[in-house]
Amino acid sequence: MTDTQVAKVVGAVREDRLWQRHMEMAAFGATPRGGVNREALTPEFTQARQCLLKWTSMRGYTSAIDAIGNLFIRRSGTDPTAAPVVSGSHLDSQPAGGKFDGAFGVLAALEVLDALSDASVATKHPIEIVDWMNEEGGRFQPTTMGSSVFAETLPLDTVLATADREGITVETALAEHLTKINTDGIREFGFPMAAYLEAHIEQGPVLEATKNTIGIVTGIQGLRWFQIEVTGEEAHAGTTPRANRRDALAAAVEMIETLHLFMFDESDTVRFTVGRLDVSPNSPNTVPGKASFTVDLRHPDAEVLRDLGDHIEEICDAHSGDCEVSVTETITSAPTTFDPAVVGLIRKAAHHQEFPAMEMISGATHDAKSLAGLCPSGMIFVPCAGGISHNETESATPADLAAGSRVLAEAIVSLANA
């Protein structure tokens, strides 16, 4: 493929079409406040996929689905034996989510396919769009469910048995969904891919603040979640002397304050969050008998993450006073490093197209994390307003979305002709 051909494809990426499709897709599950409520396997999610299949079948692309409901849409290549270059993200949203988180990755991949078709450019490898099932994990836990089952890091049986708050299992919801989604074929988990690329809004404030259009994502930070339970004793707030109290909230407050100080780093790389704290009985005139809180700790460096996380129990113990404390690690996820060759292609495309770009680590988890162990993988970020996502006010500009799609197009075309 010549540079002229790449330029033709990149030039065929249409900002207006890409934006219009975001707006049409956002109609499925649209909320009064301008957001999207399109949780996995709901009727709105099914409608969104039907719309995607309508657009893609019109262009002659073929579709397939796997046993956990991941949807693949293929534009054929010239070499029938070549593994596909796959790109996509997810059409499901948070219950009070936005128009761009996930949808952008799917629609950007579609824009690349349509640009190739409009420019009448063939590729050696087939190119596939993927819509991973249930990335958000709101209705059915955990997050990145479809891509994890695909990568066989989550067992299918367990996942199918997982129920939502109303007791509906993934198995039941998926069976219902499949009656309304007609695909040309079925796919196996972990089928060979030449590469995987995912475009996404940053979900953080860095690109906007530094006036960069493209985030060249070099990896996804690692994560450790902890649940801390502090047990003291309920007592009357008016009559119980301080010396006789076993105040679970007072102990928890001291632990959290100490953890904040311990996690402080000058470079502001550590992500340490106590997002949830529950107090019992939570009555103004009763000394709390129980307090429980969560820790969400993230860092791109595996060793730093291990070291910081391993200190949490020790710090909680040291500040438990007369209370008892238990620290349980509930989720552990190692940092991901994306393939240097893929990262290099994205960097090259961004520079070539003269977009202001920077390398960055993804703070959030994405389906690309599941894929990184299977094939050369990478991600492209574009800015979102105020770094806000998982929120109905989530916003991105047509120009930035198009820029991300053009960089994606160049990287995909390179990979699909390698």
Which of the residues 201 through 230 are near a copy of itself (CB under 8 A)? Answer: 202-206, 209, 221, 223, 225
385 belongs to the binding site for a copy of itself (CB under 8 A): no
Minimum Å gap between C-beta 276 and a copy of itself is 5
366, 89 in Cβ contact below 8 A?
Answer: yes
283 belongs to the binding site for a copy of itself (CB under 8 A): yes
365 belongs to the binding site for a copy of itself (CB under 8 A): yes
Minimum Å gap between C-beta 326 and a copy of itself is 17
Which of the residues 174 through 203 are near a copy of itself (CB under 8 A)? Answer: 202-203
41, 27 in Cβ contact below 8 A?
Answer: no
The answer, yes or no, to whether the previous bond of 142 is cis (omega within 30 of 0) is yes
Q: Which stretch binds a copy of itself (CB under 8 A): 68-76, 114-122, 260-268, 370-378?
A: 260-268
Distance separating alpha carbons of residues 80 and 198, to the nearest angstrom: 24
264 belongs to the binding site for a copy of itself (CB under 8 A): yes
Distance separating alpha carbons of residues 178 and 174, to the nearest angstrom: 6
75, 117 in Cβ contact below 8 A?
Answer: yes
213, 360 in Cβ contact below 8 A?
Answer: no
Q: Which stretch binds a copy of itself (CB under 8 A): 57-65, 106-114, 279-287, 399-407?
A: 279-287
260 belongs to the binding site for a copy of itself (CB under 8 A): yes
262, 307 in Cβ contact below 8 A?
Answer: no
Closest among 367, 368, 362, 390 to 144, alpha carbons compared: 367
Distance separating alpha carbons of residues 360 and 367, to the nearest angstrom: 17
Distance separating alpha carbons of residues 92 and 137, to the nearest angstrom: 9
Kind and range of the H or E run holding 12: helix 3-12
From 4, 157, 211, 243, residue interacting with a copy of itself (rule: CB under 8 A): 243
From 244, 307, 317, 373, residue interacting with a copy of itself (rule: CB under 8 A): 244
Site mask for a copy of itself (CB under 8 A), range 8-27, x = bound: --------------------
From 119, 127, 249, 323, residue interacting with a copy of itself (rule: CB under 8 A): 249
Quick one: residue 223, left, alpha or beta (phi over 0 = left, psi -120 to 50 = alpha)? beta
From 254, 367, 392, 400, residue interacting with a copy of itself (rule: CB under 8 A): 254
- Site for a copy of itself, rule CB under 8 A: 202-206, 209, 221, 223, 225, 234-244, 247, 249-250, 253-254, 256-257, 260, 264, 268, 270-279, 282-288, 294, 296, 298, 362-365, 387-391
